[in-house]
Amino acid sequence: MTWVHTIVQGILLGGYFALFATGLSLVFGVMRLVNLAHGALALVAAFCAVALVNATGMSAWLTLPIVLPAAAVVGYFLQRWLLNATVGAGEVTSVLVTFGLSIIITNVLLQVFSANSQGLQAGSIGTASVHLPGGLDVGWFDIVTFLVAIVVLSGLQLVTSRTTIGRLMRASSDDPRTALLMGVNTKHVYAVATAIAAATVALAGIFFGMHTQFSPTSGNDYLLFGFETVVIGGLGSIWGTLAGGVVLGLAQTIGAQINPADGVLAGHLVFLVVLVFRPEGLFSGGGGAVTAAGALRAVRGIPRSLGSLYRAMSSGARGGQGARPGRAAARIGARTEDDGLLVRVRRRGRGSLSGGIAMLAGVVVLGTLPYAAGPSVIFNLVSMFVLVILASMWNLLAGYGGMMSIGLQAFYGLGGYTLLFLSDHGVSVWTGIFLAALITGVIAVPISFLAFRLRGGYFAIGTWVISQAIYLIVSQDSSLGGGSGAALTALSGYDPAQRQADTYWVALVILVLAIGGVFALLRGRLGLGLTAIRDSETAADSLGVRVGFAKRVAFLVAALGCGAAGALTLANTLSIAPSSAFDVTLTAYMIFCVLIGGLGTIEGPIIGAVIFFEIQYHYSSNGVWYLVALGALAIVMAIRLPQGIWGLITARTRLSLFPVGYQLTAANQGAGRRGSAKEPAGSVAENRN
C-alpha cells in the first residue's frame, strides 16, 4: 500500500513541477529565451507572500490576488527594460543576463530574509486529506494544486490558440521582423508573454511554498525542476508539460521511498536517462508551433552564417593559395598575387612577439616569487591561478565553441575529490593533481554524450543538472566525508612553507600548460572549426567541420583544466566540501572573469580573472551586496560591452598577444605598406575572435 501511496503522491507532485515549467516553456517558445532567473522569480513571489502574511496576518491564499498581478507587472517591465535587449542578441547574452539576474535576486533575498527556511501555511486545506478505500490518504492541497496546474495549462493553451494576443505571440515567434511590418509591437508582445510567465511561476512559487519549506537559494532547484519537466515532457504540447511534471514527480517520490535522501537525485537521473534515449521529450507533440518555429529560425540563420564562414575560409585560403586554412599557419608572411593585389597573410598581430617575450619573462619572475614573497601572498596567487585556469576553460567552451555551460563546477569538484581519493589511497599529492585532472577528463567523455544532446540555453541548464547529480552522489559517499567534506591529510607532515611553494610551482606549471594548451588548440584547424560551430553549428556541419569531435575535444580540455583547478585548490586549502566544490557560484565567477576581460579571446579571461581576483580580495567582505553588484556588472557588461576590456584594448591598438586568427594586409606598392585591405582583415579577425 505504501507504493500505491507513493505513486499517487508522485503524480500529484507533478502538478507543482508543471506549474514551474509553464512559464519557462512559454518564454522559450515565444522568444527563444532561456530564462535562468525563472526559479528566482518564483522565490521572489513566495517571499513576498511571506512578507505579506507576516505583516498583516492574512491567509497565504489571500496573497495570491496581490502577488500574481504584481508579478505580471514586474515581468512585463523586466522584459521591456532589460530582457528585450537580449532578444536577438544571441543566446550568450540572454543566458548571461538572466543568470546575472538570478544571482542578484538570490542575494537580495538572502540580505532581506536571511538564509533561514521559510514556509507558507495553506490553512485547514493544507492538512485535510481525502480518505480513499484501502487506507489511502491523499492531501487536499496536492489535489487542488494538480487541478490548478491543469486549469493554468489549458487556459494558456486557449490564450495562445484562440486570442489575438496569442496569435501575435505565435506570429512574433515565427518571424519577428515581418510581425513588425504588420503593425505588431513585438517588444510589447514579448513583455506580455513574460508577464504571463511571471504570474504562472509566482503561482508555482507560492503553491510550492505552501507544500515545502524554502530558502533564498531554493530558486536554483525550482529552475532545474521546471527545466527537467520541460525536457522530459517535450516542447510544444501542454499535456507534455503536465506529463513531464508527473514523470519527474514520480521519480522523486519513488527515489525518496527507496532512500529518503535520494529523491531529488532520482529526478535528475531520470531526466538524464530521458536525455539519452529520447532527447526530444517523452510526450513531444511533434508539430507544435513552438518547435516548428524554432527549427525554422535555426534554418533561417544559415545563409548569414554561411556567408561569414565563407568569408573566413576564403580569406584564409587565399593566403595559403587554396590550401586548407589550417595549413596557412605554415605560410606566415606568404605573399600571393591575387587580382593584381599583393596580399600578405600574417598570424602575428601587433605586440605578439614582444608580448610573448614579456610573458615568458613574467613566468620566470613568477617562478622565483616563493623565494621573495610571504606565505599569504603565495596562497592568494595559487587561488588567482586557479581562477585564471577556470575562466580560460569557460571561455574555451563559450567564447570559441559556443557552448555555454553552467556546470563546469562538476569537473572542479570531481578534480578535488579525485585527488582526495587518490591521496587516501597512497598516491603522492603532486602526481595526484595531474592524475586527478586526467581522470576528470576521462569522466567527462560519457558526460559529454549526455550534455551534447542539448543546445544553447538548454545545454547551460543541462550541464548544471549533471553537476547537481554528481554533487548529490558525492555528498552521500561517507568514504569521501559525506556532506560535511574531508581534509587532505597527506600533506600534514610537510613543512608549511615548502608545501606552499611546491603547490605554487605546480599551479604555475598547470597555468602555463592550460593557457598554452588552449592557445595551441585554437591556433590549429580545430580552433577554426570550433569558431565556425560557435557562429552556426548547422553551417559548420554542412561545410565539413567535424562538429561532434571538435566540441567534444573542447569539452574534454575544459574538464581537464577545471579538474586540475579543483585538485590545486584542495592542495592549497587542504580541505574540501561538496557544497563549495560543486557550487554554481564558481561558474558565476568564471563568467564574470570572462565578461570583464572579453569573451572569445585568450587574453580576456586572464585579465578578467586578475581584475576579478582583486575585486574579490578587496570587496568580498561586503557579503551579499558584493555579489549583487557583480550580478549587475555582468548584466551591464553583457549588454553594453560584450567584447570586454581586452576587446576595448584591441579595438584601439590591434594588439594581439595570442594570435589565433589571420591578418591580411594588402601591399600594393611593395611589401610592408599597409593598403586598403582593412575590411578583409577585420572580417577574419571577427570570425576568429
Residue-by-residue DSSP string for 231-280 = HHH-TT-HHHHHHHHHHHHHHHHHHHHH-GGGHHHHHHHHHHHHHHH-TT
Q: Binder to other proteins among 55, 131, 133, 177 (CB under 8 A)?
A: 177
* Shortest reach from residue 187's CB to other proteins, in Å: 9
* Shortest reach from residue 163's CB to other proteins, in Å: 11
Contact 604, 597 (CB under 8 A): yes
Q: Is 168 in the site for other proteins (CB under 8 A)?
A: yes
* Shortest reach from residue 177's CB to other proteins, in Å: 7
Residue 672, CB half-sphere, CA atoms under 13 Å: how many? 0
* Shortest reach from residue 179's CB to other proteins, in Å: 7
Residue 496 in 3-state DSSP? helix
Residue-by-residue DSSP string for 425-450 = TT--HHHHHHHHHHHHHHHHHHHHHH
Cβ distance to other proteins smaller for residue 356 or 675: 675
**Region of 172-180, 512-520, 596-604, 633-641 interacting with other proteins (CB under 8 A):** 172-180
Cell of 113: 530574509
* Shortest reach from residue 103's CB to other proteins, in Å: 33
Cβ distance to other proteins smaller for residue 62 or 180: 180
Instruction: Of 205, 185, 223, give the one whose Cα is nearest residue 98.
Output: 223
Residue 86 in 3-state DSSP? coil
Give the contact letters, 243-282, x = binds to other proteins (CB under 8 A), - = no: ----------------------------------------
**Region of 52-60, 179-187, 316-324, 397-405 interacting with other proteins (CB under 8 A):** 179-187
Conformational region of residue 366, where left means phi above 0, alpha means psi within -120 to 50, and beta covers everything else: alpha
Pairing of strands 575-576, 486-487: antiparallel
DSSP state of 214: B
Q: How far is CA 78 from the centre of its chain?
A: 21
* Shortest reach from residue 457's CB to other proteins, in Å: 21
Can you name the residues that pair with 129 across neighbouring β-strands?
139
Cβ distance to other proteins smaller for residue 21 or 189: 189
**How many DSSP H helices and E strands does the chain contain?**
29, 7
Q: Is 167 in the site for other proteins (CB under 8 A)?
A: yes
User: Which residue has 561532434 as its cell numbers?
Assistant: 548
Cβ distance to other proteins smaller for residue 174 or 583: 174
Instruction: Of 25, 402, 427, give the one whose Cα is nearest residue 196.
Output: 25
* Shortest reach from residue 539's CB to other proteins, in Å: 19
Q: How far is CA 435 from CA 98, 105, 155, 415, in A?
A: 36, 39, 55, 9
* Shortest reach from residue 289's CB to other proteins, in Å: 4
Q: Binder to other proteins among 179, 545, 581, 657 (CB under 8 A)?
A: 179
**Region of 182-190, 319-327, 468-476, 573-581 interacting with other proteins (CB under 8 A):** 182-190
Q: How far is CA 579 from CA 32, 50, 131, 486, 585, in A?
A: 32, 27, 41, 12, 10
* Shortest reach from residue 240's CB to other proteins, in Å: 17
Residue 663 in 3-state DSSP? strand
Residue 196 CB neighbour total at 10 angstroms: 26
Instruction: Of 335, 71, 63, give the one whose Cα is nearest residue 207.
Output: 63
* 564 residue type, one letter: A
**Region of 131-139, 178-186, 330-338, 403-411 interacting with other proteins (CB under 8 A):** 178-186
Cβ-based neighbours of 184, under 8 Å, separated by 6 or more? 168, 171, 172
Phi, psi of 576 (to 5 degrees): -145, 140
* Shortest reach from residue 182's CB to other proteins, in Å: 5
Cβ distance to other proteins smaller for residue 338 or 686: 686
Burial classification of residue 198, based on how many CB atoms lie within 10 Å of its CB (0-12 exposed, 13-18 middle, 19 or more buried) = buried
**Region of 10-18, 166-174, 372-380, 655-663 interacting with other proteins (CB under 8 A):** 166-174
**Region of 135-143, 171-179, 301-309, 531-539 interacting with other proteins (CB under 8 A):** 171-179
* Shortest reach from residue 239's CB to other proteins, in Å: 18
DSSP state of 494: S
Cβ distance to other proteins smaller for residue 5 or 167: 167
Q: How far is CA 550 from CA 180, 260, 529, in A?
A: 38, 41, 7
* 618 residue type, one letter: H
Q: Is 170 in the site for other proteins (CB under 8 A)?
A: yes
Cβ distance to other proteins smaller for residue 338 or 679: 679
Cβ distance to other proteins smaller for residue 147 or 182: 182
Q: Binder to other proteins among 22, 63, 86, 173 (CB under 8 A)?
A: 173
Phi, psi of 493 (to 5 degrees): -80, -10
Q: Is 289 in the site for other proteins (CB under 8 A)?
A: yes
Number of residues that bind other proteins (CB under 8 A): 23
Give the contact letters, 631-670, x = binds to other proteins (CB under 8 A), - = no: ----------------------------------------
**Region of 130-138, 292-300, 305-313, 429-437 interacting with other proteins (CB under 8 A):** 292-300
Cβ distance to other proteins smaller for residue 84 or 440: 84
Q: Binder to other proteins among 180, 276, 357, 361 (CB under 8 A)?
A: 180
**Region of 73-81, 164-172, 207-215, 374-382 interacting with other proteins (CB under 8 A):** 164-172
* Shortest reach from residue 127's CB to other proteins, in Å: 46
Q: Is 191 in the site for other proteins (CB under 8 A)?
A: no
Q: Binder to other proteins among 175, 502, 541, 583 (CB under 8 A)?
A: 175
User: Which residue has 578583409 as its cell numbers?
Assistant: 680
* Shortest reach from residue 528's CB to other proteins, in Å: 24
Instruction: Of 344, 326, 325, 327, give the one whose Cα is nearest residue 335.
Output: 344
Q: Binder to other proteins among 2, 116, 124, 164 (CB under 8 A)?
A: 164
Cell of 250: 514520480
User: Which residue has 614579456 as its cell numbers?
Assistant: 358
Residue 77 in 3-state DSSP? helix
Cβ distance to other proteins smaller for residue 81 or 549: 81
Residue 487 in 3-state DSSP? strand
Q: Binder to other proteins among 136, 273, 276, 296 (CB under 8 A)?
A: 296
Cβ distance to other proteins smaller for residue 289 or 596: 289
Pairing of strands 663-666, 575-576: unpaired
Q: Is 293 in the site for other proteins (CB under 8 A)?
A: yes
* Shortest reach from residue 340's CB to other proteins, in Å: 21
Q: Is 185 in the site for other proteins (CB under 8 A)?
A: yes
Span 577-596, contacts to other proteins by CB under 8 A: none
Can you name the residues that pair with 487 across neighbouring β-strands?
575
**Region of 289-297, 323-331, 602-610, 612-620 interacting with other proteins (CB under 8 A):** 289-297
Binding site for other proteins (CB under 8 A): 164, 167-168, 170-171, 173-175, 177-186, 289, 292-293, 296, 679
